[in-house]
A and B are shown apart, each in its own frame.
Chain A
Amino acid sequence: MEVNYEQMLEHSNRNAHYIKSEIGRKSSSVLNWKENSKKWSVLEVLDHLTKVYELYEPNFKSVIEQSPESNGESSPMQRTLLGRLSIYSQKPKGQKVRFKMNTFSFFQPENHDKLEDAIQTYLDKKEYFNELIKSARKKNLAGRKIPTALGEKVKFYIPECFQFLLAHEDRHLVQIQNILKAAK
């Protein structure tokens, strides 16, 4: 589905609000709870999301900064076939995560004794990510792509890469909700 910058910003804000208002109130024991040693805790999920945002930030920043201002309207939302497929595969269907996949080693969370600031660190990353969406909205990004974690040669247009990261985040918010249910 085609989305625009305002929709992505609202989506991103709502995700951040959920983490801040719902997850931020949970006890440390709940946030660190995991079903078994191979599964992630809530804080580990947030640490994973932070690592993903960290990887993409510099590329977003550099391309957006170097792009010209738009003349009034935001630039059209361009899509690649692989981008569409990736967004579709990441996006959960209701409360179900589709197309399970292994996490790249560089996105694996830290040991959980280092995760006491994981919520605030994640929220700081989200704040910056939202600023990037707002900056991109004012630029002419026609034809501008950035590399993805899927490989240096696999590049997405900037808006579809925002959408891809939000779909990926949605997937992990479902995971968080499932962890919380299991922890009860």
Chain B
Amino acid sequence: MNELEGQIKLVLNSNFGRYVNISEDAYDFLLDRFKVRKYAAKEFLVEGGRVARYFYFALSGVQAGYLLNSKGEKAIFGFSYQGSPSGIYDSFIQQQPSSYFMEALRDSTLIAISKEDYDELFHQFPEFYQWRTHFMETILFGRGKREVEMLTMTAKERFDAFIKRCPEELLQIPQKYLASYLNMTPETFSRLRALRD
């Protein structure tokens, strides 16, 4: 087994395997239908106005999800990185044009499954709905927690909470993306970071 295959199996196990006892047939299906896709930095995984073709798991790199505000500025709502799910899920599920962009901030390798194959996975292996339920709960609870942070915390409290849970690779991306995610100016982010360092 080469390094890439090892990474793929690790990502599949750490996502699906935590909630589903993956049978040999299901495993073969996953390995067959998830395809490796590489994106250079600044390339889009999903474009605004276009239907999201794939659901992903990230093997490497960092990707940011954002929408454009009325001034055309990027408002970052989330990141994906090694091991995490990625893509624009509502556009993917509904097969409607996305209101958001997903962009590789660094050269990235991901595994991607098409909508047709994603639907087929649940049709052939209904036990995967356990993972899907958990995935939806994680998104819902995560969005709720973020909303509370935005409504009740000061900039410093938001910064501290983020730094506590943030993986190291996210701290390597340009500060403006992290600042936007935390709904603060890059200057404020930089000042808080300097205080911490």
What is the CB-to-nearest-CB distance from B155 to chain A, in angstroms, rounded to a whole number? 24
B49 contacts A14, CB within 8 Å? yes
For B142, what are the chain A residues with a Cβ–Cβ distance below 8 Å?
Answer: none
What is the number of residues of chain A that contact chain B, defined by CB distance less than 8 Å? 17
A6 contacts B68, CB within 8 Å? yes
The residue on A at minimum CB distance from B49 is A13
What is the CB-to-nearest-CB distance from A54 to chain B, in angstroms, rounded to a whole number? 22
A13 contacts B48, CB within 8 Å? yes
A17 contacts B49, CB within 8 Å? yes
What is the CB-to-nearest-CB distance from A119 to chain B, in angstroms, rounded to a whole number? 17
Known contacts A12-B49, A17-B50: A7-B72 contact under CB 8 Å: yes
The residue on A at minimum CB distance from B43 is A134
For A22, what are the chain B residues with a Cβ–Cβ distance below 8 Å?
Answer: none
A141 at the binding interface (Cβ < 8 Å)? no
What is the number of residues of chain B that contact chain A, defined by CB distance less than 8 Å? 14
For A9, what are the chain B residues with a Cβ–Cβ distance below 8 Å?
Answer: 47-49
B49 contacts A11, CB within 8 Å? yes
A137 at the binding interface (Cβ < 8 Å)? yes
A6 contacts B72, CB within 8 Å? yes
What is the CB-to-nearest-CB distance from A103 to chain B, in angstroms, rounded to a whole number? 27
B42 contacts A13, CB within 8 Å? no
What is the CB-to-nearest-CB distance from A14 to chain B, in angstroms, rounded to a whole number? 4
The residue on B at minimum CB distance from A2 is B72
- Choose one: B44, B51, B68, B97; the contact of A7 (CB below 8 Å): B68
B interface, CB within 8 angstroms of A: 42-44, 47-51, 68, 72, 74, 97, 101, 174
Q: Which 9 residue pairs of A and B lie closest in terms of their CB atoms, listed nearest first?
A: A13-B49, A10-B48, A10-B49, A14-B49, A13-B50, A4-B72, A7-B72, A17-B97, A138-B42
